[in-house]
Structure 1
Amino acid sequence: NYIYMNSVIEKEKKLNLALAKLKNLNLKNPDVKKNIENLSSQKNQLEIEKQEIEEKYKSLINDYNSLSKKLDELQNQEKAEQKRQIEFSEKIDELNQETDILLDEIDKWQT
């Protein structure tokens, strides 16, 4: 889009320059007048295309920002889930240690 946009801007500049030069020529010549009208029409078409591209670009930027935000949220959720899993594993380890201690105590009482 960026490259195409620059191309459109360059074409528009060239057409504006050509129109300015043609306006300084003899406007009574029918070929000159026809060329001016043709260039003016092309310029209008390019301006319409430029506007459409700018709108598409804005839409893409909005989509990108929205997707980036969603990705950040998912990554944060994943980190929170990993943290909960680590905490759960630690609790299980603590429970296992307490069970081992309890079994040792039971063994001592039995002997």
Structure 2
Amino acid sequence: MHEFSLCQSVISIAKKAAENNSKKVSKIVVKIGNLAGVDIESFEFWFPVAAKDSVLEQAKLEIIHEQAIAKCKACEHEFELTRLYEQCPNCGSFEKDILKGKDMLVESIVFN
């Protein structure tokens, strides 16, 4: 059910943008990092339900998957993350900065 509220937030953003354009949305692109905590299949399922009777009802949803990248604080090696608590494959340290892949954002909105 968490994904339904995320869909509602995305739709709210698009509605505000549509108010400025007085148009319906034909496509919305959402970037979701693999560490964002979003079940993409659930998000895709709930999107049309949340979009019903709105300017996004006919909109195509496009999801861009963003691979998480971290930088080790010990050896400065950059590496891909599939789980939050992975260690550096270079030195074994768990100390890292996550550079990308933990966010979800509306990348673009296309109007009719």
**TM-score, normalisation: structure 1:** 0.23
Bigger strand share: 2
- Which protein is richer in helix relative to its size? 1
With a CA cutoff of 8 Å and minimum separation of 6, indicate the structure with the bigger relative contact order: 2
Larger Rg, first or second structure (1 or 2)? 1
